[in-house]
Structure 1
Amino acid sequence: MTALLRYHSALFLRSQRWLAPLLLYAALVAVGVRPGDPVPGSLGIAAAGLVPVSAWTVRIFLTQEPAAARAVVAAAAGRSRAHLAALLAGAGWAVLAGAAAACAVTATGGLAGTSGPAALLAGLLATTACALTGGAVGTLAARPFVRAPGWSVAALLLGSLAALVTTGSPAKHAVTALVADGGGARPPWAACAAALLLAAVTATASRRAGARLE
């Protein structure tokens, strides 16, 4: 599995497909967060912005291989393992970007009403929950479920929006939980656990569908 993760990550980095989602996320954080702003709200913005970026990143990982290369990797490592590695690598890069943003926001924001370690913990959990929720959206908006690029992008955008506004969504719950009574940052443990479960369910469904349809 380690070799597969390195393979997918190398494709991602060498193709420079990482530039677009990374620049989008950097722009969202730069526009929405100012140094000195209350940390909980800033962390919420950083976490919410990660949902479409994570969905986009996971979709890139699932579609970046040429068909011939995908067939070779599937024959060598197994189609299910190769598919899972692409999902894990995509979600992992999104979580890494969210963690970096959470550290930067905590270091530059106003900590009135909370402490730095508590705010950072809450931010890391929220960005993880949003990254996994976005990753689930990207999984459902890519092959083998949606093959046409236009429909895939439309599903990704609509799914990301739904993940941010739908009651019961782990991403919405994580962002909401960041601002507790009195302005403190409340760690969204439940949202993170729910996002992990959602990601696991969608990954399993995607792997099984890929085994039947590809």
Structure 2
Amino acid sequence: MKKVTTLSLVVALALLISACNFPFADTESAMATSVAATVDAMEEEASHAVVPTLAPLPTQAPPEPVAPTQEPDRYRDNDYCDKYSESQWPEECGPYYDHQPYNKNQCLYATFLSETIKDNTEFTTGESFTKTWTLRNDGYCDWNEDYHLIFKSGTQMAGPDDYVFGIEIDPGEEITISLDLTAPASAGTYTGYWQLETDEDVKFGTALSVKIKVE
């Protein structure tokens, strides 16, 4: 009787241990299967994922080089200076009356070449001097002997009202004009302007200026 009881206890204990072990094995197997399925699903999703394409950034054009600013020639750079009215006239253009629009294809066209007595030359009161300009006829019309230079504005400095050429200047030829002038009797800065005219009193070319300082 004692042996049967002992055997029964052993069998019962074995059954109990087996009953406890079987669920754990099934759970671990189920978990492994679930993890494997999840990994497979993630890999499948990743293989079909669309990688977004980034739009390229706009390309900026390099800045254009800035040309250096050049000081205009008061006798030649009319394209710059003639944009301004007399009240807005830039100082770097020289006297306002020194400018007049020109075109090398026109009949009357005078080119300034040189001068004596530069601007702001100093003289004593009452001192005499001679101002000379050299010009070239760059138009396609002759300047006849009755063409002349007239006083236009400013201080006349005892100069003539009218200087007649007295010779004919063909296109391409040069003429030198000299005026005998006298410095004013009072100290200061003085400017006078003379203008070219035809024999029919048609003005052309740039006004010619005399600017002096009297001490």
TM-score interval, smaller chain: under 0.3
Bigger fraction of residues in strand? 2
Higher RCO, 1 vs 2 (CA within 8 Å, ≥6 residues apart): 1
TM-score (norm 1): 0.23
Structure label with greater radius of gyration? 2
Bigger fraction of residues in helix? 1
